[in-house]
Structure 1
């Protein structure tokens, strides 16, 4: 009977020799024996991650094949693939495979030929795929092992570390159980590291055993170094992006060309001055460890008084604060909710318009904002004086005026009976939120200021209060992408800012309105109304 040995049998030296396979088919393999590399150069003590015939990713070392068992903050544990038939063989490796140690011995001999067979089958399968479609460009990343040559397995069969070591499918297909309380949350192993080809520390700080309010900070040394070169820092605080067991997420960003990239991420179970001081004290301490200095002179952020006070205390009283337009509109919306005016905002178009006019003050010239506030007060008196909600609406207007425009008036009586009046400046000076000059000058940073919180994320989840490990996974992906962007930027590439079309259109309309107002084409009241009609607050 004719010998039925397969092409694989011939390559592996099994069975009798037979004629070479038919090469007249339309899809053929190259004539060179592409598996010879495995047979001639295979080093059993050079650790490699390989893809088995069934698609599983395993560690090959010392003539044995291991499956992933578990991962910790510093090590990965592997068990012999024959553990289902009683072998207790186990090794522990570093995250980069540069240090591998035996834990338990095997009850069977090593089988280098089995590893060769696994690699050969993977190579043949890959060649079959390549015959039908172009070969994808996959970067080969193999760890250096002192005294051993690099693995010679093609990139198609040896996966990159970011894909097959730190985040092996078996390790992350199922996220760890979601903690019900913060005391149950442990962040270690793959969740504390980056997804880069050579994994690096990503978890910068966790005060789990040090304080009642939990603070978890993620950042790499490279991103801290990049941040230290910037004098302007963007800071966003978002309750909705934080995992369910945390109260808020803090995102620290910086400009890279015309773009803004996130560099530091923090989850906190509370807010207030102590959290913000702890966060920036940790960042400053780590910068000192890296021999870099963080010396910003401007923060673009929301209207958080306690956070601003901490920043001025840590970085100097002269540090500037500039608020995002998004934060200004959010402040008005949150004030509407706190004063129980949501239903009035839904039912009354006039009230919605006057609320938007408050935000529209940001587009008046700085020296005319005070007059614009007076115009809004006159409109309020004319439209709402007879309504039952007049006093509450008045409280909203006065609150905004005190914090953002006029400030607070205080007074005390002197011993001689005279009454002395003091005018205190607003908590947030007009210069810290006014956009008139930037809008007319077509300042590219206006788009960054108009954007909402989290808009610079690529992988940010759209879920509200996401599961904690899913949120960390998103941050790991974001960190990897930002690292690639910074590397390209350092090589001279100009980052392309992806700006939403509605932001571009809105910016153009606002610039036209500001230009018409400067040219005297309409009054201050008409200007505020026109700008207000291009602004949305809350759900309206």
Structure 2
């Protein structure tokens, strides 16, 4: 059977045995009979087709077949179609065009410059504006980028032209869920942010046992003012939103903005980020090798995030006991990391009276009550979403148009997930390896927490108790215990 494709001028062409034919005319006596002539000038070869089957050949070709040229024309046709129907970056389209082509076919393509210009012309015909050099120069967002394929509003708020522009994407149903569901999770990622923006920030809600993304915001910075503007936009879009709980990472600007915008909000810190922050400071001070090679030093460092499992009232006393130079675990090389943790999460001591307020209060990062209530300890579901979305996007730092197109696709998947939940379908099960790790982690957590009163009875003073409990937790927090060596301070739960 013959194969058809479009020419550079969008004329129908036919390929048979490495020869290309142009459409000539239709038979006046038989509408299904089509006449074709060879694509090469001066060549007298002709064919007749019916239902794309060759039924008659006239004359011989005066040249050899050129299959690479035919394949190159098909590739160019696909290139134009991709430029017309997607927001993929020009470089991505060029890569897709060349994928799988033979060397002979590649040599039959126009120059890279010519193909780039062709893609740009195609997009200009689609009225898709070229992206400027800076965010301040970015004009109107194309209308088809503001809505989903069914016409649902997706660009909920655009702060307007300027270097501090914010683009907030959410559907009306997403904003409704944001209003109805009181448990929120929030985090940002820079990996998929276009060059104009600092991060893509997402807000998720706990809905029917699943974490659902409902807001995607392109933010120009991580400043307090930027987060204030984002949250005020949400309050304006859906008056009355008032989350009860929020889990986020330890980013001071975001935490402060949420705390002030929503009085009474219970802020909880992601335990993975707490441990990760300690690990970063170990690396920053050149102690990563020491951590990996010396178990006693590693145990001392793991005891810092392990403080989260003690009752809040015992955290300060435990810190003073365990991380004192007279402690059996003490290592002077750890002093800079201990100082960082004290300043950020405990509070520096005064000469008299209570300690200074830390950057993040103990209640925000403590896990004692969360463990007993079997509540989430980390933002792993949000981290997992960011990783999955990056896979859908297929690129770091994509163009703005490509990112928005990917967000629209992601929103379709989100809506499908909600539909399945409403129909009573269970979420996709986790892989058995991770289910087993989660069960084991919960068992360890509950055992240690519930043993607290018994441990208390067996110790005359809390000093020995603190050492015993933190030693217990740090023994289970080794990275190999959870098969996650890239996250060496990740504590128990993978919730």
For 1:496 and 1:267, locate their aligned partners in 2 and report how far apart those are by CA, in whole Å.
28
CA RMSD for the aligned pairs?
A: 3.9
Asked whether 1:329 is paired with 2:275, we answer: yes
Q: Is the 8 A contact 1:436 1:514 kept in 2?
A: no
TM-score (norm 2): 0.63
Residue 373 (structure 1) shift: 2.4
For 1:440 and 1:402, locate their aligned partners in 2 and report how far apart those are by CA, in whole Å.
28
Give the match for residue 166 of structure 2. 215
For 1:251 and 1:379, locate their aligned partners in 2 and report how far apart those are by CA, in whole Å.
43
Q: Is the 8 A contact 1:241 1:466 kept in 2?
A: yes
Go from structure 1 to structure 2 and tell me whether the alpha carbon gap of 1:361 and 1:188 turns closer, same or farther (over 3 Å shift).
same
Please give the per-residue CA displacement for 1:16-51, whole angstroms capped at 9, x wherever unaligned: xxxxxxxxxxxxxxxxxxxxxxxxxxxxxxxxxxxx
Q: Is the 8 A contact 1:299 1:320 kept in 2?
A: yes
Residue 471 (structure 1) shift: 2.9
Asked whether 1:408 is paired with 2:339, we answer: no
Residue 531 (structure 1) shift: 2.8
For 2:317 and 2:203, locate their aligned partners in 1 and report how far apart those are by CA, in whole Å.
36
Give the match for residue 59 of structure 1. none
Residue from 300, 303, 313 that aligns with 2:247? 300
Residue 424 (structure 1) shift: 3.3
For 1:355 and 1:285, locate their aligned partners in 2 and report how far apart those are by CA, in whole Å.
44
Q: Is the 8 A contact 2:179 2:241 kept in 1?
A: yes
Give the match for residue 107 of structure 1. none
Please give the per-residue CA displacement for 1:356-381, whole angstroms capped at 9, x wherever unaligned: 22222223344443344245415895
Q: How many pairs are equivalent?
A: 365
Please give the per-residue CA displacement for 1:77-135, whole angstroms capped at 9, x wherever unaligned: xxx97899xxxxxxxxxxxxxxxxxxxxxxxxxxxxx9xx9xxxxxx99xxxxxxxxxx
Residue from 189, 193, 206 that aligns with 2:142? 189
For 1:342 and 1:186, locate their aligned partners in 2 and report how far apart those are by CA, in whole Å.
46
Give the match for residue 439 of structure 1. 371
Residue 450 (structure 1) shift: 5.4
DSSP-derived class of the 2:301 partner: helix
TM-score (norm 1): 0.58
Go from structure 1 to structure 2 and tell me whether the alpha carbon gap of 1:363 and 1:482 turns closer, same or farther (over 3 Å shift).
same
Residue 423 (structure 1) shift: 2.8
For 1:330 and 1:513, locate their aligned partners in 2 and report how far apart those are by CA, in whole Å.
21
Residue from 424, 437, 462 that aligns with 1:493? 424
Q: Is the 8 A contact 1:365 1:436 kept in 2?
A: yes
For 1:185 and 1:177, locate their aligned partners in 2 and report how far apart those are by CA, in whole Å.
18
Give the match for residue 287 of structure 1. 238
Go from structure 1 to structure 2 and tell me whether the alpha carbon gap of 1:488 and 1:370 turns closer, same or farther (over 3 Å shift).
same
Superposition map of 1:132-531 within 5 A? 169=82, 171-173=84-86, 175-177=88-90, 181-183=134-136, 185=138, 188-189=141-142, 192-196=145-149, 198-207=150-159, 209-210=161-162, 212-288=163-239, 293-316=240-263, 318-374=264-320, 376-378=322-324, 382=328, 385=331, 390=332, 393-405=334-346, 407-410=347-350, 420-441=352-373, 443=374, 445-446=375-376, 449=378, 451=380, 453-456=382-385, 459-462=388-391, 465-468=396-399, 469-489=401-421, 491-496=422-427, 498-499=429-430, 501-517=432-448, 518-519=450-451, 520=454, 523-531=468-476
DSSP-derived class of the 2:475 partner: helix
Q: Is the 8 A contact 1:459 1:477 kept in 2?
A: no
Higher helix proportion: 2
For 1:254 and 1:504, locate their aligned partners in 2 and report how far apart those are by CA, in whole Å.
22
For 2:443 and 2:363, locate their aligned partners in 1 and report how far apart those are by CA, in whole Å.
21
Mark the runs of 5 or more structure 2 residues left unpaired by the alignment: 14-30, 35-50, 53-80, 92-130, 456-464, 489-495
Q: Quick check: 327-336 or 247-256, which moved more? A: 327-336
DSSP-derived class of the 2:221 partner: coil
Q: Is the 8 A contact 1:510 1:531 kept in 2?
A: no
Residue 474 (structure 1) shift: 2.5
DSSP-derived class of the 2:472 partner: helix
DSSP-derived class of the 2:350 partner: strand
DSSP-derived class of the 1:222 partner: helix
